[in-house]
Structure 1
Amino acid sequence: MELWIPITIAAAFCQNLRTALQKHLKGRLGTTGATFVRFGYGVPFAILYLVVLNQVFGYALPEPTLTLLVAGALGGLAQILATFLLIHLFSFRNFAVGTAYSKTEPIQAALFGFVVLGERISLTAGLCILIGITGVIVISLARVPLTVSAIRGNLVGRPALIGLASAALFGASAVAYRTASLSLEGTVVAMQAAYALVFATLFQTLVMAAWMALREPDQLRASLSAWRAAVWVGASGVAGSIGWFTAMTLQNVAYVRALAQIELVFTFLASWLVFKEVIVRSEIFGCVLIVAAVIGVVLLR
């Protein structure tokens, strides 16, 4: 099995855990505060990981590049906005279905990867990604009455548009991060990913802290007061990011993000076991389609 596959699955699990914790915090902090803790409390863990790679394993630190600075900053901004929109989406739909809207990311990541990096995907992989997107659509319509007006409202309404925008920003940030990581030379893949991760997370923390200090100081104070819960968001978020950055340094972003749809399986488990939400048959069918798409990407690409 190629290394990027288990790394991506582990990252998807950590991301699901982090999203669940953020949903819990949203009720206490609001959307901005819940977004900030993902980055602000993740910085120490990201730096610790970098130090361990350098001091314990002896991997050399790369020289920073202009591409790292530009791509890392753009990716950081895109991820902040994407995370904000995803958390805001929880206000409209339940946990499982709300997350599903953002799962159109793989096809958008494939487009960004082609435009920015010239990366192509096989026809088979493209079909598998479309199957996964179909699963997402099935899930998004699972609780909607089967009338023309209701379906149209669900597909083009505010929640759908927010989900699509979040997915586009996540796809753009993933390609930007791959660009930043690949620009670093003279070291191993793990260190490339860690270095890019530290820069992006630190940049995101500074940007959000400055914004909140000026525009939403109450949210900043609340985020600091909630450190006991927020630290777990930071830890799980960085654990997932380590996986994403490493996998996307090793493999085409579209393939990584397509495999990452396995997160939706973890989302259903979280919805059922943690949030006690009822899962309907259509959502299960959509999940089956997504799993089939994931298997296809891994075995048939």
Structure 2
Amino acid sequence: MITSPIWLPATLFAGAVQAWRTALQKRVSQNLSVNAAGLVRYLYGLPFAFLMLGLYQWAFAPSAFPALGRLFPLFCAAGGLAQIIATNLLLMAFNHRNFVVGTAYSKTEAVQGAILSFLLLGETLSALSWVGILCGVAGVMILSTGGKRMEPADFVRALGKPSALCGIASGLFFALTAIGIRRATQEVATPDHIRAALIVLCCTITMQTVMQGVWLFWREREQVSRIFLTWRSSGQVGFLASLGSACWFTGFATAPVALVRIVGQVEVIFTLAFSHFYLREKMRGSEVSGLLLIAMGVILALAGTMR
């Protein structure tokens, strides 16, 4: 059920910001371990998250702080932990030989999210929106092949391989992240969806900082000092991560999880546009086909909400 039209611009902006943040984080990760690079987005994003909440709560839309349901911290913790696991699983898929297949299977997140949100939240979508989701997933899978020719049977045969298993599991946990965040926003007693999203963001990112920070201090203590040496670039990553998450969480608070995720795949379009127009990299025919499928999927998914 869509409760506010703000979900669409918020999701589109989230996709653009995430593409930018990913580009910066790749540079930061060259000097840090996987877990340290993951912690950067939470640790440096934490002050920006609280700054956004403070400005909104007391400057832009002042009102009494809303009451929080008893399950609020549980859903925040579950969503935050699921995101950490999903990110690590995706990186594990990248480390296996079948990188292409693992990446492609991780993009089933929109389909898995639609199924899980129906089972766990009772969210339903129109047939046209389902066609749009499948179309968008197919487009991203084509882009994931990097121009390599792969038959459908190749993906089926690869199901039992580590890269595919990690990719599918990654998509599952990203879907669970979205569901956990959506339920957390529903535990905030306010009709203001932006306020609810910012409150959930602050709680979730605090828990993620503690969870991944404790793990890093326990297992990779030598990485802790390196995180603070990269404060210039890491600060930019943290700011963009918090800004993007605030938009994602607003989307999850106001629209079905699957719709937010399928529209959020415009991140791929922004990334390729940056590559083509700024870096002057030539676009392949397969990339054009994938982009057209993604665009068609977004249009169909949106059209399905208007029926």
* Same fold (TM > 0.5): yes
> TM-score scaled to structure 2, two decimals?
0.88
**Given the superposition, is the C-alpha separation of residues 28 and 192 from structure 1 closer, same or farther in structure 2, using an over 3 Å criterion?**
same
Q: Distance in 2 between matches of 1:97 and 1:146?
A: 9
Note if 1:63 corresponds to 2:64: no
**Given the superposition, is the C-alpha separation of residues 232 and 273 from structure 1 closer, same or farther in structure 2, using an over 3 Å criterion?**
farther
The one-letter code matched in structure 1 to 2:15 is A
Q: 1:25-64: per-residue Cα shift (whole Å, max 9, x none)?
A: 2211121111111111111011001111121130332222
Residue 205 of structure 2 corresponds to 201
Shift of 1:76: 0.4
The one-letter code matched in structure 2 to 1:10 is F
Q: Distance in 2 between matches of 1:278 and 1:150?
A: 27
The one-letter code matched in structure 2 to 1:108 is Q
Q: Note the aligned Cα RMSD (angstroms).
A: 2.7
**Given the superposition, is the C-alpha separation of residues 184 and 148 from structure 1 closer, same or farther in structure 2, using an over 3 Å criterion?**
closer
**Given the superposition, is the C-alpha separation of residues 127 and 215 from structure 1 closer, same or farther in structure 2, using an over 3 Å criterion?**
same
**Given the superposition, is the C-alpha separation of residues 267 and 11 from structure 1 closer, same or farther in structure 2, using an over 3 Å criterion?**
same
Note if 1:189 corresponds to 2:203: no
For 1:66, what is the secondary structure of its paired residue?
A: coil
The one-letter code matched in structure 1 to 2:168 is L
Note if 1:241 corresponds to 2:241: no
Residue 169 of structure 1 corresponds to 173
Note if 1:48 corresponds to 2:51: yes
Q: Distance in 1 between matches of 2:42 and 2:278?
A: 24
Residue 298 of structure 1 corresponds to 302
Residue 135 of structure 1 corresponds to 139
Note if 1:112 corresponds to 2:119: no
**Given the superposition, is the C-alpha separation of residues 16 and 99 from structure 1 closer, same or farther in structure 2, using an over 3 Å criterion?**
farther
Shift of 1:157: 4.0
Identity %: 35
Shift of 1:209: 0.8
Is the contact between residue 102 and residue 165 of structure 2 (CA under 8 Å) also seen in structure 1? no
Is the contact between residue 23 and residue 90 of structure 1 (CA under 8 Å) also seen in structure 2? no
**Given the superposition, is the C-alpha separation of residues 2 and 221 from structure 1 closer, same or farther in structure 2, using an over 3 Å criterion?**
same
Match of 1:212 among 209, 216, 228: 216
Any unmatched runs of 5+ in structure 1?
none
Residue 82 of structure 1 corresponds to 86
In the TM superposition, 1:254-273 aligns within 5 A as 254-272=258-276
Note if 1:252 corresponds to 2:290: no
Q: 1:171-230: per-residue Cα shift (whole Å, max 9, x none)?
A: 100011000001111452111111111000000001111111111112222112111111
Q: Distance in 1 between matches of 2:20 and 2:90?
A: 14
Any unmatched runs of 5+ in structure 2?
none
Q: Distance in 2 between matches of 1:25 and 1:161?
A: 27
More off after superposition, 136-145 vs 181-190: 136-145
Q: Distance in 2 between matches of 1:177 and 1:85?
A: 19
Q: Distance in 1 between matches of 2:297 and 2:153?
A: 30
**Given the superposition, is the C-alpha separation of residues 188 and 272 from structure 1 closer, same or farther in structure 2, using an over 3 Å criterion?**
same
More off after superposition, 289-298 vs 186-195: 186-195
Q: Distance in 2 between matches of 1:55 and 1:2?
A: 24
Residue 8 of structure 1 corresponds to 11
Q: 1:1-35: per-residue Cα shift (whole Å, max 9, x none)?
A: 93211111001111111111122222111211111
Residue 17 of structure 1 corresponds to 20
**Given the superposition, is the C-alpha separation of residues 288 and 53 from structure 1 closer, same or farther in structure 2, using an over 3 Å criterion?**
same
